[in-house]
Amino acid sequence: MHKTIEPTILYFGTPVALISTLNPDGTPNLAPMSSAWWLGWSCMLGLGQMGQTSDNLIRTRECVINLPSEDLVTKVDRLALTTGKDPVPEKKRQWGYRHEPDKFEIAGFTSMESESVAPPRVRECPVQMEGIVHDFRPFGKNVSANMFEVHIVKLHVDEKLLVGDGPRPHIDPVRWRPLIMSFCRFFGVGGEVHPSRLAESDFMKFAIRGTTSQPANLPGTQKRNTHASPETAIPLAPSDKG
């Protein structure tokens, strides 16, 4: 039997992302968050307006979205209740947040230079996405948050996670072990629970091969330019932190 409820937020668990940005003094900031989703080569981030990361994204319009694997959970957890903002906003101070000027150091992460944006990548994270903020605006009901549309310009993936020898290798979902946050608690992923018809469909063949032909079972899909960049050639698959 279902019960109608009204929780403070609607949040059901998504992969953890570490957003690296640059502070006004040029030092890097690193913020854990999990309000993120992707479509094609674009990402939507939801961040509270009180955090330094939100300020940095609006000012510089650059970031790296680093995805930690589940084995990095202790490092990620060290970033909890920290903020790059000084002074700490009163509400966050009441919640137990403290200012931390060097997030990489306290977490035990290593910064590495990015190729297309100024903020650094997190060396330990197996997936690193350099991105440019395309647009942002206030977002949400009963929450002080901003939404950021980020276009990915460079993707770096640990070779151990890749399968395929062609021009478009892809991430093996069995090898990739993302860190999941659900209701503020950390989880990993279990084994595959059921064979997927979509995974065996023409759509996935299209996605893996990166061909420019249109799959027969994808009505409405537009034909793509044979000289399209990686960003445009990829088909579209059917919280605030400091």
For 203-238, the DSSP string reads HHHHHHHT-SSPPTT-TTPPP--TT--HHHHSPPP-
* pLDDT score, position 30: 98
Select from 17, 21, 62 the least CA-distant residue to 38. 17
**25 pLDDT higher than 50:** yes
Alpha helices in the chain (DSSP H): 52-60, 73-77, 90-94, 103-107, 202-209, 230-233
On whether the CB atoms of residues 79 and 103 are closer than 8 A, the answer is yes
* pLDDT score, position 197: 80
Specify the range with the lowest mean pLDDT, choosing from 7-11, 27-31, 89-93, 124-128: 7-11
Given pLDDT bands bounded at 50, 70 and 90, which one contains residue 210?
A: low
pTM for the full predicted model: 0.83
On whether the CB atoms of residues 41 and 234 are closer than 8 A, the answer is yes
pLDDT, mean of residues 110-123? 98
Pairing state between β 98-99 and 111-112: unpaired
**211 pLDDT higher than 60:** no
